[in-house]
Amino acid sequence: MKRRISSGLVILVITLLLVNLGSISLLNAKETPKEKFEILANEMVLDKDTLIAKGEVKITTEQGKMTGDRFKADNLKGKGLLTGNPLLINEGWKVSGNRFEINFDKEEVFVPQNAHIESETLVADAKHLLLLGKKEEVILTGEVTVINQERKLTGDKVVIDLKTEKIRSMGRSRLTLPGDELNSGAEE
């Protein structure tokens, strides 16, 4: 009986916290009071303006979900940190890295190391990744490698449009095409 009461209390406290943290959203989350926002974890610590969730953390909104081992949200700063093999799944895209630094107000996720993003047709790796939710694009920097339909693009900075999968590189870049496309039949 005590376990049910404490579980109910935890759910009530989390619901109250989420009302206070109502500005927190994943990518492209529209700020409406009806939006579903749920955090599941093995342990949670709630304070006036902060939330710390530990162990098998799952954050779900109508736009997508994030998972990791530890999540800390600061409502005053509008920022969050997700660590422990974080993964973001949103509209067919998967983003991973060593940690996610989240800016809820700007709807941005920064991956400072070992950044990886993929869809059904594209895979990209870089040192850093900045996901801009409002612009629906990703900026990859530092030893970027993008593989799209057997084409390989490498460079220092690459921008990917998340809706169209249009890829733009900036700075010195190299595009490698599969062997069949390089052979036009003409001799050099």
Higher-confidence position of 51 and 33: 51
Domains, the chain, in order of start with CATH, read 2-182 (2.60.450.10)
Query: Which residue matches tokens 């067919």?
Result: 92
Q: Does position 73 have pLDDT exceeding 60, yes or no? A: yes
Q: Does position 6 have pLDDT exceeding 70, yes or no? A: no
CB 90 within 8 A of CB 27: yes
Token digits for 36? 């579903």
Distance CA 127, CA 121 (A): 21
The CA distances from residue 95 to 5, 124, 134, 183, 188, in Å, are 37, 10, 16, 35, 42
What's the confidence (pLDDT) of residue 178?
A: 86
Give the CA-trace dihedral at 49, 55, 61, 63, to 10 degrees: 120
Distance CA 138, CA 109 (A): 9
Token digits for 45? 């610590």
Whole-model pTM: value is 0.75
Confidence of residue 161 (pLDDT cuts 50, 70, 90): very high
Across 179-188, average pLDDT: 50
Across 134-140, average pLDDT: 94
DSSP state of 22: T
**Nearby residues of 86 by Cβ (< 8 Å), 6 or more positions away:** 66, 67, 68, 96, 97, 99, 100
Q: Does position 172 have pLDDT exceeding 90, yes or no? A: yes
Higher-confidence position of 181 and 74: 74
What is the residue-averaged pLDDT of the chain? 82
Distance CA 149, CA 50 (A): 43
Distance CA 83, CA 97 (A): 9
Residue % of the chain over a pLDDT of 90 = 65
User: Which amino acid is located at 58 in the chain?
Assistant: K
CB 15 within 8 A of CB 36: no
Confidence of residue 35 (pLDDT cuts 50, 70, 90): low
